Each structure stands twice: as C-alpha cells, then as structure tokens.
Homo-oligomer: A and B are copies of this chain.
C-alpha cells in the first residue's frame, strides 16, 4: 500500500506564496513514487484578513488537525497598514498555531554550507541547532496597559515559565545533542531574570544528570551574541526561551548566509497535533510577486518536515540537493522558480521510481 502524506499548506502573504510552491514541488519530487502527497491549501494571512476579516478560528484549527503536517510560507502585509498594527496577523495566526498545536520545540538548525558567504571574516565551522521554546515565556501575551495615552501610562509584559514547559523542551535539546555533538548550551539571563532563570537553570541541571555523556554550559544572552560572531563553532545545541530564541535565530541565520537559507520547524514531538514547518524569513512585501525570493529556506523547511513525518531518506535527498545547488551558485541571479526547479531536478534524479 502506498504511503500517503497528507499536508496542509498555508502559503500566506508576499513571497510566502512563491517559496511554498517551490518547496512543495521539491518535496513531491523527493518522496518519488513511494509516497502519494496530497495537499490542502489554506488561504490564511494578512491579505485574506483584509479581504474577509477572517484570521483563524476554532473551525480552521479543527480542519488543520486532520493533516499530518503543515507547510507554512510567511505572513504579514504592508507594515505601515494601520489595519495590521500590533502584530494582529503574527499573533492571531502564526503564534496562535504554535500555541494551539503545542509546538513547544521551535527547531532552528544553523549551518554554513561550503561556498556560502558569511558576513563573518572567519566564520569557522557553523553547524548547530537552536532549540527555542515555542509555547510560553514572554510570548504568552500576558500583561496590559493602564492610563493609556496619559503621562501616567504603565504597560507590562509578563513572561510565564512553567516546569512542564521548560522541562520538556530541555529534554528534547539533550536528546538532540546525544545524536549530534553532545553539547548543550543554555542561554538565558539568570543574573537579572532570576525567577525564570532559576527554573531554567534547575531543569537544565536536572536533565543534564540523565545525560552524563553530554557536556553543558551556560551563557548569558548578551554574551551568546558575542560568541555567535566570534566563535560560532563553540555551539552544538542551544536551548533557550521563546524571546531569546527569536533573537538568536535571526542572528544565527545572518551569520550562516542570510535568512534566505534559514529553515525552521514548529514541532510537537508527541504528534498530538500537526507540526508546522516554515522558513525563518518573513513575507517581504517589498519584493513579493517578483520571483526574487530565495526559496531555499522553505525547501530546507520541507526537508525538516520530511524528517519529522518519518521520511528521513527523502529529507536527506533534499538537503543533499540544496547543498549541491549552493555549491554551484555563481553570481548569476536566478528567479525563485529557477532555483526551485534546479533543486527539484537534482532531487528527482535521486528519488525512487518503481
């Protein structure tokens, strides 16, 4: 019986639409005749919201849970459009999906492929994974504003950290390190954020005791940014909270050749909900629809998806094809579909056809 891979796609806005199309073509080529890929496209995003007033409701979530995984592009419209102010789409769609589907592992591998240019003069070996907590911390939306618009305005943001939430992501990070370089770095700001810091420190130390062959260390988030630009080779697996992870993964993307290459997974490891895979970059309204976007980050996100759904060989075909394509990229500019087609062709040549 053919294996069926039933995916939801949320191309979203701007370049999201263009890159998801390429990622899907590559993914389909990679699984070859062994797997039948079916897809259902969902129209969510800023444009959809502006046209219909609809962002994402419980019915949508129920539909999405029917699928095995979600391939996500990027969402967000014109940043100056007042109707989109306050991150209404980011929070109402992207973060809502992460929270509703308990995507507690926000997985962001960082790798500087040979022949890719880093802004660093001597990057050395860059090959690490940031395991960013995805469902709590400063992202919970807790807080408020009083006396708004007056000289006495006070606004608060409450970061919520639970043993439940921290322990499981830390465990995942150590398990990942077991399969990689056997090193975990906790990044936090324990000398200032002492309450949350104590929870993270304690749970990392406790989990570390279960992994005597994994070494671990700790860096303040400010110091971590220094090491990312002076000695990125020191990192194997970084585990950190939602906000620090947001910041560090953009920096990590930049030093490894730009966020045009940075892939990510919003993962629920238990499979209670579909996991969601997306490039780290945004919708880039300024270049949307012009075939200028690099689809590589979306394609590498599709590889993470394949790995997650138990098709590691197909995933490996995609990363190998990307690696080969990157190695041959010259200075010639190619369109989004040209890059996608080139990678799909390499992948197809290696995929099973029986």
Contacts and interface: CB of A to CB of B under 8 A. Distances in A.
Contacts of A118: 121
Interface string A76-100: 0000000000110011000100000
B145 A195 contact: yes
A154 interface: yes
A164 interface: yes
A259 B104 CA distance: 34
A191 B155 contact: no
Interface residues of A, number: 65
6 contacts: A87-B191, A119-B120, A156-B196, A158-B158, A226-B254, A230-B254
A189 B156 CA distance: 13
Contacts of A251: 222, 225-226, 229, 251
Tell me how many chains of this kind the complex includes: 2
A39 interface: no
Interface in A143-179: 143-145, 147-164, 167
Interface in A208-240: 221-223, 225-226, 229-230
Interface of A: 86-87, 90-91, 95, 118-122, 138-139, 141, 143-145, 147-164, 167, 189-199, 202, 221-223, 225-226, 229-230, 243, 246-247, 249-251, 253-255, 258-259
A194 to B, nearest CB: 5
A90 B199 contact: no
A161 B150 contact: no
A155 B198 contact: yes
